[in-house]
């Protein structure tokens, strides 16, 4: 009788362990089977659709107009000196004007190079700032919507060639194909417009509080 009870207890333990094992495996399977929520975003479309970018571009245009005005003033001074040296009769005066003209030419060239670098810096900082804000906004939107992974989409871009480029057309095509990140993405997972609206609303709110 005692032996039979031991056998019965052993069988029950085996059944319990097996049941626990199956339950654990089922739970693990459910956890592993949880789908990853994926979305795509078109960075270029987002950047082009941002109100902040439009305002920043307006600032760059104002800067360009200031540069053009100063450049015109510098060129006007150079033209005046060129006309003056043509009319000058006294050799000493001509030499004096020539020295001033040379100095203005050197200063104008140095100024143009400096301005070129400054404008390049301003544009690069603008792009960096916008990209950082886009990255942060993507993270916030993904958190709200329960998105696990956001991919940069370039699926809709067409491979094109430029006829007057220094690179051969074949190489242009090869480069574009080799840098392509995505071939197809369903429009249903695209969050570009949601992101644009979210960022523009946030920017409008910030502007309203200033």
Looking at per-residue pLDDT, the higher value among 29 and 130 belongs to 130
Radius of gyration of the chain (CA): 34
Instruction: For 10-65, write each residue's pLDDT tens digit.
Output: 555 555 545 555 555 545 555 565 788 999 999 999 999 999 999 998 988 898 89
Q: What is the mean pLDDT of residues 141-156?
A: 92
Residue 194 has pLDDT above 70, yes or no: yes
- For residue 2, the model assigns a pLDDT of 45
What is the rounded CA–CA span in Å between residue 97 and residue 74? Answer: 16
Find the helix packing angle between 192-208 and 91-145, rounded to 10°.
Answer: 110
Task: Give the SS3 label for residue 161.
Answer: coil
Instruction: For 75-93, write each residue's pLDDT tens digit.
Output: 999 999 898 888 888 888 8
Least confident of 9-13, 52-56, 68-72, 187-191: 9-13
What is the rounded CA–CA span in Å between residue 76 and residue 131? Answer: 41
* Planar angle of CA 115, 118, 119, nearest 5 degrees: 85
Please report, for residues 101, 144, 161, 199, the alpha-carbon distance to residue 154 in angstroms, rounded to integers and kept in the order given.
53, 24, 17, 21
Residue 160 has pLDDT above 80, yes or no: yes
Q: Are 127 and 158 in contact (CB under 8 A)?
A: no
């Amino acid at each position: 009788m005692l032996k039979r009870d031991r056998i019965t207890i052993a069988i029950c333990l085996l059944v319990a362990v097996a049941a626990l094992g199956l339950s654990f495996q089922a739970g693990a399977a459910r956890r592993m089977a949880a789908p990853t929520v994926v979305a795509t975003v078109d960075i270029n479309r987002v950047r082009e659709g941002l109100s902040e970018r439009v305002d920043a571009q307006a600032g760059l245009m104002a800067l360009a107009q200031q540069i053009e005005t100063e450049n015109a003033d510098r060129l006007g001074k150079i033209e005046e000196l060129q006309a003056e040296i043509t009319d000058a009769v006294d050799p000493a005066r001509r030499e004096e004007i020539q020295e001033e003209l040379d100095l203005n030419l050197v200063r104008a060239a140095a100024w143009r190079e400096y301005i070129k670098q400054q404008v390049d810096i301003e544009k690069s900082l603008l792009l960096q700032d916008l990209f950082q804000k886009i990255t942060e906004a993507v993270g916030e939107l993904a958190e709200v919507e329960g998105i696990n992974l956001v991919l940069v989409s370039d699926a809709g871009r067409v491979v094109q060639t430029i006829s007057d480029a220094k690179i051969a057309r074949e190489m242009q095509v090869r480069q574009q194909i080799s840098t392509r990140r995505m071939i197809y993405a369903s429009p249903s997972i695209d969050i570009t417009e949601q992101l644009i609206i979210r960022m523009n609303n946030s920017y409008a709110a910030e502007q309203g509080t200033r």
